[in-house]
Homo-oligomer: A and B are copies of this chain.
Amino acid sequence: MGVQGWQALEKTVDYIPPEHFKIADAKRGDIGNSSGQYAKAFFETLNFDAITIAPYMGEDSVKPFLEYEGKWAIVLGLTSNAGAKDFELQKFVTKTDLLDEGIHIEKHDTKFLYEIVLENVSKWGNPNNLMFVIGATQAEEFENIRQITPEHFYLVPGIGAQGGSLKDISEMAMIDDECGLLVNVSRAIIYASDTENFSHSARGAATQYQQEMSRYLKRIGTYS
């Protein structure tokens, strides 16, 4: 968000009724001391319920966000953007501890970086204070992701403007009628229209996504 945006942000947060879950998609992550200050600013000063976190710097950069009762850290797992292929979807062989004399490895010994991130980060928190960002454009990975982190909620961007399918990811990653998915649609709603009547169009777009999601939820509810 822009710099002048901070005051607008405080005002926006104040407009939102307190029963709504508020996520700061701020993608923070710094040395422990600084992450602690970010956590304080977003969770205490602004009273957000959750914040998105970049995992690159490791455990001490994530931990401070997990220490607030009733608050959530949402760590980047496999993101929706094209750049996900650069590091997150690089495939590595991880058996390097036995390497002194060389080893024979096969395809099933390999892992994507994002899988290593999910495995490690899920040990630092629990399903009640930790979620992961999983992009809807990565549908072919959703079943695998659900196996690695069977009990965690996912924050799912990439529906709408980025082309992800709400139907596909709902079928693959909803756990039960408690859901397991927090689907985020931003641009397809806030830019639904640029006329003076934009609030009507935005409401229409939001209602449409909500109703579609509701159908998938009912279907899961019947099966479970």
Contact = CB atoms under 8 A, between A and B. Distances in A.
Contact of A56 (B46, B76, B80, B120): B76
Interface in A1-37: 1-6, 9-10, 25, 27-32, 37
A217 interface: no
A148 to B, nearest CB: 16
Contacts of A57: 54, 76, 79, 81, 83-84, 88
A40 B3 CA distance: 9
Contact of A3 (B6, B101, B110): B6
A59 interface: yes
Interface in A62-109: 62, 76, 79-88, 90-96, 99-107
Interface of A: 1-6, 9-10, 25, 27-32, 37, 40-42, 45-46, 54-62, 76, 79-88, 90-96, 99-107, 110, 113, 116-117, 120
